[in-house]
Amino acid sequence: MILYDYRCEGDHRFEAAVASMSSPAPDCPDCGSSARRVLTTVRTSGFASAGHSREDMPKSWKGMGNGNRDAVDYWRRSMEKRERLEERHPELGGDRRPILAHEGIFRDRPLRAGDDIGASVQAAVTAEKAKEAAKPATATLAGGGGPPSSGPSVTATGSSTTAGGAAKR
Ligand SMILES: [Zn+2]
């Protein structure tokens, strides 16, 4: 297999592995339109690259070139390669632990399974306070009477109870 760069009619660039130089160009995995090989770059497979992330994976049938065998093959290989890479380099996979809470004080820093709850609450509350302190005076006044800002402070109070509970473990 040889990896080539392709560019489609919609100007998407993508890579695809084909059997030989004379293989027909696969359709664009993004929009399904026909593509041409970009002649400047030719590489053999096995080159060092992090490749596509999981987010790059087409989410639709059309994205898979309407089931075009080359496109499906290409993405399957690409994701297998990525999985092997992530096994060796877990940091590339990002944090995939389940998110337990992502509202209120955890809006910007989700609580994930395995996190130290006490420390996470502490960090979230501290960040929330820092954000409040950083707000311009006018914004504090404007937001002071509204429900949106009273919400988080109620949550914060409830969560510090949680922090106390976690400390008892
Ligand atoms: Zn395209």
Residue-wise pLDDT for 98-111, tens only, equals 777 888 888 777 88
Query: What is the length of the chain?
Result: 169
Ligand 1 centroid to residue 44 C-alpha, Å: 23
Q: Report the pLDDT averaged over residues 138-167.
A: 47
The Å distance, Cα 49 to ligand 1 centre, comes to: 22
Share the mean pLDDT of the chain: 73
More confident residue, 144 or 10: 10
**Amino acid 112: pLDDT:** 83
Residue 33: the pLDDT is: 93
Average pLDDT over residues 60-72: 78
What's this model's pTM, rounded to 2 decimal places? Answer: 0.31
pLDDT of 8 above 90? yes
Q: How far is the CA of 23 from the centre of ligand 1 (A)?
A: 19
Q: Tell me how far the alpha carbon of residue 12 lies from the centroid of ligand 1, in angstroms.
A: 5
**Distance in Å, CA 8 to ligand 1 centroid:** 5
